[in-house]
Structure 1
Amino acid sequence: MKLMANLFSVFDPSTNWMNLPLNWLSMMMGLIFIPISFWLIPPRLNYIWNKIIFSLHLEFKILLGSYSYKGSTIFMTSLFTLIFFNNFLGMFPYIFTSTSHLVMTLSLALPLWISLMMYGWINNTNHMFAHLIPQSTPMILIPFMVMIESISNIIRPMTLSIRLTANMIAGHLLLTLLSNSGSSISIYLYWVILLSQILLLTLEFAVAIIQSYVFSILSTLYSSEVN
């Protein structure tokens, strides 16, 4: 009888995390794998995300104007979704933040800029030349304005990629510096640093959303200029 008790003791609930029994929580993991289409009423998270995507669709549609092609907003909302999820996942421990590297951000910005420039100069050449000179520019300033506008167009992919990379790196560096100094301070300052890290992490979540929105909205503005 004692041998049988030892044999089946491996099935006893014994997993604890911070003195909380989380064994029975594994029964709810099956709900994660149920597709949304099987629900009679869509979950609240899916409803909120659909509202966000629809709001972005309306905003991108206004920025693109009446000359945009059908489906143009799908590309911009997909770009927003890709950057947002990469930024958001980078906030969790032991997850690589791909958007904090120029390899990732420049791979998004450079092909987009090249395709827009090729489309604009091939199909709307006169419009692209006219865009280099702002309206009511004095004759003496036209050469300088053409040079300035040309440089601003050329550096657009770099500004897009560096802006996203720098904002994602800055928050991670601050969190790392604060955490490294925690082992050499008193217990009273430790709580101050912990509170600062929580506030900084909250700010980082906001930055993750804002930077994905800025990247997609500037890409939409750049695409609207070539039409």
Structure 2
Amino acid sequence: MSASLLVFDAPEPVCVPVSTGGAFPVRRIYCVGRNYAEHAIEMGHSGREPPFFFMKPADALLVVPEGQTGEMHYPGLTADLHHEVELVVAIGRGGRQIAAADALDHVWGYAVGLDMTRRDLQAGMKKSGRPWEIAKSFDESAPIGPITPVSVCGELLKGAITLAVDGELRQRGDLSDLIWNVRETIAAISQAWALQAGDLIFSGTPAGVGAVLAGQHMHAEIAGLPALDVRVLAAE
């Protein structure tokens, strides 16, 4: 459609900086639920279950350039904001019905991300059997650091994933502990949706999720990737 036919100016695409230069334009954000066994247990579940997914809008991203500290506002409607550190997978080539053996061909790179969650709202929605997008898909709910191309870091099959709040270690796991690894996750998502270049996949969080308060500083790391730092500000 011609830009002259738009009734207002289209928003700029959401882009994440690349560690080697340039920017990655984002289309969709897919998130995997309960993908570490210990986290599943702490959330009242256990074992390897079929993967399930939810989504966040692209403009929920809080993009934090390397070496900087992002600032997210404490969201409204909650008194129990939780941190969840995750490996983010950036898709560079789309497809449907992707075989797990071929999935790496579709990975462009990786980043450190946070799936911030209004846990009290999520619990309430679960109890009433209602969708819980309101708990996951709010503004600034997906802080993300720079994307490192897979051509630079290689396939990430193992490595420490951690999150500290004000210097206190809260979450610690290893990428090798993923219940559904990245290849399997890509295969599963591509059964339900057509993946396209620009999609991001938040791959799940290890145990240790917990509340964060206004004024606190979160430091997230995954071995081989730029760290992610975010400070929580008071509500707007």
Is TM > 0.5 for Structure 1 vs Structure 2? no
State which structure, 1 or 2, has the greater radius of gyration over its C-alpha atoms.
Answer: 1
Using structure 1 for the length normalisation, give the TM-score: 0.27
Instruction: Give the strand-richer structure, 1 or 2.
Output: 2
TM-score when scaled to structure 2?
0.26
* More helix per residue: 1
